[in-house]
């Protein structure tokens, strides 16, 4: 029974009694709390106890109403906001829970459980950078070891080198601390070392299979690395524990989309949105899947819904711009400009808005202002990535030095003999998606995506190198045995099989950056076709400069870097033309536009494929397309874009100078 209150019964004793009852008998605890409130109607501790008792008794609505009373009486009490957040989270109202948890933490940051719940909700909403930050705050306030606390603090404040140094030292002492391993994985991810992050997260869940936050991060990283089959497996493990978790469902949907199962991905997103219609980032991800599947209008509607829910979400505006065929309204332009005036706008949102506004103004013919926003977006993005044109130059020189005609002649029987892969490579934004669409319209050829498997092999090789001075994996290729080359060839064919849904004789790998790995491709798959997609240097480079890539292509955010990279690419391809004569088929984008039928016939002849009229009507192919050109290749070829870069010519002097003779003699190649 609750203790009756009298003038001689202290409120403190009654509250203590109610607290003890809460753990064993919530109904009696509620009665005791009500007794206190009968004497002192707005006693905040009693209101809090009554709310918690009602929640335990299965009355969350009453509990929330009671906690609102607490907040009215004690507006600065963090615990009231925290408990409100927990109850709302359990009730399924994560958006409201997020509000209360943030308020609690603004009043009292040292609430580790609040940070952890906040991290979970943000991950569910698709805001993974915020989720990681919240998780690090959780570690910072819950950890006891000063080294781990310092490392978490450095990570929260984005002092990445300090965080990395502290975590590595800590792990030398405690090599199985999974929290520290997960934090080090985040460091690796922020530095762009995705393979290292993947391995660290795999180690986390090996040591602690129940560490769901690490497994969730692992699934996200696998998706980022286009290892969709593995990501799907991780999502299924997580969903077996928590079937309704939004973040886990999103990992599954992204993986299904990457595996080419757009119908299942769309069905899953529709189910998620039916239950959680107010999550902007889920709508954004849904838009990507709809775009891939060719549902143009539905993709636009999904992106717009994301913006409606989160007006400062710059990436959703960029996703609209990145449809290429989409045109912003004047109201859209005004909204973007308004967002850019905000001093509180996050850098990631800001550069996305700049790229989007650059595209909007370009479509309006306001080229000076358009260029200014493209430039601002690039400058801000450049501060967040690492790229060294000198390192890239070293790769070209080392490649030319090692991979001579004699090198390949001595290894002409290496690799596996399969002729199934067709590699389309070259610079990004050079027409590779168009070539893929044309070839995949042939009855014998299956289009897939930008497959990561060659680059995955290079990472495997790179990890075999010893010493800090190693800059490329190239020195390992002269040491590769015939058996090893065949093994890597079989690995490539095996790992890419998941993307081949239709059982056709040939398939396309459209990873543009594979041009840096032609020597490896020749060693392991000597009968594969290699197609170099090339476009006018100014048109190609400026198209890259005004494109924000989700990840990679770090050379593209500064005009001199861009020009030097294109120069290096042309020189490297010229080298392979010399040492492997006739091996690589080149398609100049301008020639394809001007003389489409002849260029398609030439392309099919190189691939050993009979002519089919479907290749001429590639724009009727409804296959999923995952690149920025997805909408453009669903239309007939048009000439208008060839010289569009000339509208910006007065600002591109640095680019011209960096390109040098490569620009002067295009489409011919200078003597290097």
- The answer on pLDDT for 570 being more than 80 is yes
Instruction: Name the pLDDT band for 489 (thresholds 50, 70, 90).
Output: very high
Per-residue pLDDT, averaged over 369-375, amounts to 97
Distance of alpha carbon 595 from alpha carbon 585, whole angstroms: 17
User: For 603-613, what is the mean pLDDT?
Assistant: 95
Least confident stretch, 72-81, 123-132, 384-393, 409-418: 123-132
Nearest to 288 by CA among 328, 323, 246, 264: 323
pLDDT band at 655 (very low <50, low <70, confident <90, very high): very high
Mean pLDDT, residues 613-631 taken together: 68
Hey, which of 76-80, 135-139, 155-159 has the most confident mean pLDDT? 76-80
pLDDT at 252 over 80: yes
Q: 488 phi and psi, to 5 degrees?
A: -70, -35
222-254: b or e for each residue (b if 16 or more CB lie within 10 Å)? bbbbbbbebbbebbeebeeeeeebbbbbbbbbb
Please, where are the H alpha helices in 176-261? 178-190, 194-207, 212-224, 228-241, 246-258
* Distance of alpha carbon 609 from alpha carbon 442, whole angstroms: 8
Whole-angstrom CA distances from 393 to 204, 561, 570 are 37, 11, 12
Residue 386, pLDDT above cutoff 90: no
Taking the CA atoms of the chain, what radius of gyration do you get in angstroms? 29
pLDDT at 640: 64
Q: 3-state DSSP call for residue 590?
A: helix
Q: What angle do CA 181, 186, 189 make, to 5 degrees?
A: 125
Confidence label for 36 from pLDDT (cuts 50, 70 and 90): confident
Among residues 430, 396, 424, which one has the least CA distance to residue 553?
430
Mean predicted confidence (pLDDT) in 475-500: 95
Cα–Cα distance measured from residue 62 to residue 355, given in angstroms and rounded to the nearest whole number: 48
How far from each other are the two terminal CA atoms of the chain, in whole angstroms? 94
- Rounded to an integer, the average pLDDT of 537-547 is 96
The pLDDT of residue 28 is 78
pLDDT higher than 90, residue 628 = no
pLDDT (average), residues 170-181:
84
Adjacent-strand bridge partners of 530 = 423, 584
Q: Is the pLDDT of residue 568 over 60?
A: yes
Question: What is the CB neighbour count within 10 angstroms for residue 96?
Answer: 17
Q: Which residue has the higher pLDDT, 12 or 269?
A: 269
* Per-residue pLDDT at 498: 85
Whole-number pLDDT of residue 195 = 85
State the pTM of this model: 0.77
pLDDT of residue 468: 59
Q: Report the distance separating Cα 49 and Cα 282, nearest Å.
A: 36
Q: Taking all residues of the chain, what is their mean pLDDT, rounded to a whole number? A: 89
Most confident of 27-31, 34-38, 319-323: 319-323
Q: Which of 327-336, 454-463, 644-653 shows the lowest mean pLDDT across its residues?
A: 454-463
Instruction: Give 2's pLDDT tier (boundaries 50, 70, 90).
Output: very low
Better pLDDT: 623 or 540: 540
% the chain with pLDDT above 90: 58
Q: Give the model confidence (pLDDT) of 192-205 as tens digits.
A: 788 889 999 999 88
Q: pLDDT tens digits, residue range 274-292?
A: 988 888 989 999 999 999 8
pLDDT of residue 636: 62
CATH code reported for the domain at 389-431+447-587+639-665: 3.40.50
Which of 226-230, 362-366, 590-594, 609-613 is the least confident region? 226-230
The answer for 260, left when phi > 0, alpha when psi is -120 to 50, beta otherwise, is left
> Hey, is 422 helix, strand or coil?
strand
Residue identified by tokens 């798959």 is 525
Indicate the pLDDT class of residue 541, thresholds 50, 70 and 90.
Answer: very high
Using DSSP bridges, classify how beta strands 421-426 and 529-534 pair: parallel, antiparallel or unpaired: parallel
Q: pLDDT tens digits for 441-485?
A: 999 999 988 898 999 899 889 888 766 567 899 999 999 999 999
Mean pLDDT of 510-517: 96
Is the peptide bond between 330 and the residue preceding it cis, with omega within 30 degrees of 0? no
Confidence at residue 635, expressed as pLDDT on a 0 to 100 scale: 58
């Amino acid at each position: 029974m609750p203790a009756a209150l009298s003038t001689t019964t202290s409120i403190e004793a009654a509250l203590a009694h109610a607290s003890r009852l809460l753990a064993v008998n919530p109904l009696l605890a509620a009665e005791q709390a009500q007794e206190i409130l009968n004497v002192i109607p707005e006693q905040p501790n009693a209101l809090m106890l009554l709310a918690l008792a009602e929640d335990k008794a299965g009355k969350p609505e009453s509990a929330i109403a009671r906690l609102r009373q607490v907040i009215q009486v004690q507006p600065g009490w963090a615990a009231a906001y925290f408990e409100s957040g927990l109850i709302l989270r359990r009730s399924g109202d994560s958006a409201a829970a997020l509000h209360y948890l943030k308020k609690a933490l603004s009043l009292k940051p040292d609430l580790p459980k609040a940070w952890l719940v906040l991290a979970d909700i943000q991950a569910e909403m698709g805001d993974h950078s915020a989720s990681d930050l919240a998780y690090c705050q959780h570690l910072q306030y819950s950890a006891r070891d000063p080294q781990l606390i310092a490392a978490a603090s450095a990570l929260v404040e984005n002092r990445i080198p300090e965080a990395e140094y502290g975590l590595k030292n800590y792990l030398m002492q405690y090599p199985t601390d999974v929290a520290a391993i997960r934090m080090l994985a985040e460091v690796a991810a922020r530095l762009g070392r995705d393979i290292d992050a993947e391995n660290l997260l795999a180690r986390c869940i090996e040591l602690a299979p129940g560490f769901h936050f690490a497994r969730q991060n692992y699934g996200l990283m696998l998706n980022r690395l286009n290892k969709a089959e593995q990501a799907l497996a991780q999502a299924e493990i997580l969903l077996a524990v928590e079937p309704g978790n939004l973040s886990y469902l999103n990992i599954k949907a992204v993986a299904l989309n990457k595996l080419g199962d757009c119908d299942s991905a769309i069905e899953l997103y529709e189910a998620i949105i039916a239950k959680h219609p107010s999550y902007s980032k889920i709508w954004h991800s849904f838009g990507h899947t709809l775009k891939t599947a060719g549902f143009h209008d539905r993709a636009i509607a999904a992106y717009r819904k994301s913006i409606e829910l989160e007006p400062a979400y710059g990436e959703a505006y960029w996703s609209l711009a990145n449809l290429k065929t989409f045109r912003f309204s004047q109201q859209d332009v005004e909204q973007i400009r308004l967002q850019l005036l905000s001093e509180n706008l996050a850098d990631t949102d800001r550069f996305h808005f700049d790229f989007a506004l650059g595209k909007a103004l370009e479509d309006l013919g306001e080229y000076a202002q358009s260029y200014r926003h493209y430039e601002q977006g690039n400058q801000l993005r450049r501060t967040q990535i690492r790229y060294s044109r000198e390192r890239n130059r070293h790769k070209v020189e080392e490649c030319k030095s090692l991979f001579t005609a004699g090198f390949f002649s001595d290894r002409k029987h290496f690799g596996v003999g399969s002729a199934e892969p067709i590699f389309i490579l070259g610079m990004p934004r050079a027409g590779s998606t168009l070539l893929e669409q044309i070839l995949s319209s042939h009855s014998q050829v299956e289009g897939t995506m930008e497959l990561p498997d060659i680059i995955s092999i290079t990472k495997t090789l790179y990890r075999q190198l010893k010493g800090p001075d190693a800059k490329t994996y190239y020195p390992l290729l002269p040491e590769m045995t015939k058996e090893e080359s065949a093994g890597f060839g079989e690995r490539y064919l095996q790992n890419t099989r998941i993307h081949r849904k239709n059982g056709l004789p040939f398939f396309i790998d459209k990873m543009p950056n594979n041009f840096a790995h032609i020597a490896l491709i020749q060693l392991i798959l000597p009968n594969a076709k290699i197609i170099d997609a090339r476009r006018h240097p100014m048109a190609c480079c400026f198209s890259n400069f005004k494109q924000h890539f989700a990840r990679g292509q770090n050379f593209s955010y500064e005009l001199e870097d861009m020009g030097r990279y294109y120069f290096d690419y042309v020189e490297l391809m010229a080298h392979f033309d010399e040492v492997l004569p006739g091996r690589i088929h080149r398609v100049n984008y301008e020639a394809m536009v001007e003389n489409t039928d002849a260029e398609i016939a030439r392309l099919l002849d190189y691939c050993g494929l009979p002519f089919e009229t479907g290749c001429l009507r590639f724009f009727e192919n409804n296959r999923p397309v995952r690149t920025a050109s997805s909408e453009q290749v669903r239309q007939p070829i048009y000439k208008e874009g060839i010289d569009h870069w000339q509208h910006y010519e007065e600002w591109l002097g640095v680019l011209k100078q960096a390109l040098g003779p490569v620009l002067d003699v295009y489409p011919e190649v200078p003597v290097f």
